[in-house]
Amino acid sequence: MRLILASASPRRRELLAAAGLEFEVVVSPAEEIHDASIPLDRLCEENACLKAEAVARDHPDATVIGADTLVWIAGEPLGKPADVAEARALLRKLSGRSHTVCTGVCLVRPGGSAERFHVLTEVDFRQLDDPAIEDYLTLVHTLDKAGGYAIQEHGERVVAGIRGSYSNVVGLPVDEVVARLFPAGESDCGDGAIGG
């Protein structure tokens, strides 16, 4: 199986590689939609499919993985901060509260059939005072991260606990992706080579 990840995210690349998958990266040219009237879980799936289908058109022989991750709290989506001041405000908003991370995934297979799904993870944030926020901002580049934090980078400083998939919070629910790519009995990871 020829596998393509339609994402520029280094975190998604690392997650797939750690799962033992062989894949190519083709960054999708698709523009994400931002429509507050669409339920956030469906919005994640829609954007994932836009990304995957744009790449699949040029690579019809491959299975293409598209993904989109959103963070929201009390129904309010939290995007990537535009600057450090906005990152600081996001961390204050998350402090001491629980929020939801949703990753929508779209798998477009050879022939054009698309499978879409999403995975939700609940994240509990620590109570953060201003010095803790400033400390975190000096350690982590937050401007390219939804919600202004990265669980895989000094996450113990801001996250108290999660309920659900850890890799989903990083940016891709790897176990679910692998299970859908290779239903029981179809995986050839035992010989160390999935895909090709």
Question: How do residues 1-26 score in pLDDT, each as one tens digit?
Answer: 899 999 999 999 999 999 999 999 99
Domain range for 84? 3-187
CATH number at residue 65: 3.90.950.10
d(CA 104, CA 110): 20
Say if strands 3-5 and 24-25 run parallel, antiparallel, or are unpaired: parallel
Number of domain units in the chain: 1
Are 27 and 6 contacting, i.e. CB atoms less than 8 angstroms apart?
yes
Q: Give the predicted TM-score (pTM) of the model.
A: 0.88
d(CA 117, CA 129): 37
Higher pLDDT, 69 or 193: 69
d(CA 81, CA 85): 8
Which has the closest alpha carbon to 7: 106, 75, 97?
106
Residue with tokens 């991260």: 145
Residue 195: inside a domain:
no
| Active-site annotation, residues | 68
Question: How do residues 77-119 score in pLDDT, each as one tens digit?
Answer: 888 899 999 999 999 999 999 999 999 999 999 999 999 999 9
Residue 196: inside a domain:
no
Residue 193: inside a domain:
no
Strand partners, 100: 72, 122
Residue 194: inside a domain:
no
| pLDDT score, position 121 | 97
Say if residue 155's pLDDT is above 80.
yes
d(CA 152, CA 156): 9
Residue 192: inside a domain:
no
Are 46 and 30 contacting, i.e. CB atoms less than 8 angstroms apart?
no
Strand partners, 69: 103
Mean of pLDDT values over 176-185: 88
Are 147 and 92 contacting, i.e. CB atoms less than 8 angstroms apart?
no
Question: How do residues 113-144 score in pLDDT, each as one tens digit?
Answer: 999 999 999 999 999 999 999 999 999 998 88
Q: What tokens appear for 151 in the block?
A: 């669980």
Q: What tokens appear for 94 in the block?
A: 């998350």
- Torsion, Cα 82 84 89 91, to 10 degrees, reads 110
H/E segment holding residue 15:
helix 10-18
Residue 133: inside a domain:
yes
d(CA 67, CA 45): 8
